[in-house]
Amino acid sequence: MKYNGLLCLVLDSSFIPRSIVPVERGFIVSLKGNASIIEEYDEPFKTVDINSHYPKPSVIRLNRYINLEYRNVPLSRYNIFKRDEYECVYCGCDNLKALTIDHVVPRSKGGQHKWNNVVTACEECNHEKANLSLEEWGRPSPNPKRPHYLMMMRKYRKNLPKSWDKYLFV
C-alpha cells in the first residue's frame, strides 16, 4: 500500500494514546487481529474487487495491554519549536526563517542545554539578549518545561481529525 497522508491514532487497551501511525499501518494491525477499529474515516480503502470495502481506521485500540515506559520527548530543535508553537517566547514573532534556539540562562553563565533552559526566540531577540540573564535584560522568564508526549501529540498537526479530540483530552 502507498502512504496517502492520512493518520491513525493508536490507543492502548485502557484508551490512553500511545502513538500516531499511517492509516495503512493501523489497518494492517487491526486486520491481523491485534487491534479494534474505534473510529474510521468516511472513505473506505478501494480494492480491485468492487464488492469489497475495507475501512480506513482513524482510531484503533490495541487488544492487549502493552507496558511501555514513560515516553520521553527528545530534545531537538524541531520539538522545541513545536512546544513553543513556532513563535518567539519573548516577542511573539512567528517568522519561521527568523526562529532560533535561546538558552534562558546563557551557557556562558552555567546554563545547560535542557528542556527547562531552552526556548524558541527570533534572531532579533536572541541577539539583543546575547549572553545576558533575563534579569539583566529586563524581561520576564518564559518558564520553559519538559513537554509530555501527549502534549506533543496534540500539537502534531493543526488539522487533526475531530474524532481524536475525546482521546487526546483537547
Long-range contacts of 74-77, Cβ-Cβ distance < 8 Å, separation of 24 or more: 75/113, 75/114, 75/115, 75/118, 77/101
Quote the cell numbers at residue 163: 474524532
The domain tally of the chain equals 2
82 and 54 housed in the same domain: no
pLDDT at 169 over 70: no
Residue 163 lies in a domain: yes
What is the signed CA dihedral for 35, 38, 41, 43, rounded to 10 degrees?
70
110 and 156 housed in the same domain: no
Residue 142 lies in a domain: no
Q: What are phi and psi of 114, to 5 degrees?
A: -135, 165
62 and 82 housed in the same domain: no
Q: Flag the least confident range among 33-37, 57-61, 89-93, 158-162.
A: 158-162
32 and 50 housed in the same domain: yes
Residue 1 lies in a domain: no
- Our CA angle for 36, 42, 48, nearest 5°, is 85
Hunting for cell 534579569 — which residue is that? 135
119 and 155 housed in the same domain: no
**Predicted TM-score (pTM) of this structure:** 0.61
Sign of the CA dihedral with 43 first, then 45, 48, and 53 last: negative
Which range marks the domain in which residue 18 is found? 7-67+150-168
132 and 103 housed in the same domain: yes
pLDDT at 1 over 50: no
Confidence of residue 62 (pLDDT cuts 50, 70, 90): very high
C-alpha–C-alpha distance, residues 118 and 126, integer Å: 12
pLDDT in tens, 88-139: 999 999 998 999 999 999 999 999 999 999 999 999 999 999 999 888 998 8
pLDDT at 93: 92
Residue 143 lies in a domain: no
CATH number at residue 96: 1.10.30.50
33 and 81 housed in the same domain: no
11 and 56 housed in the same domain: yes
82 and 130 housed in the same domain: yes
**What average pLDDT does the structure give for the chain?**
86
Collapsing DSSP states into helix, strand and coil, what is residue 94? coil
48 and 95 housed in the same domain: no
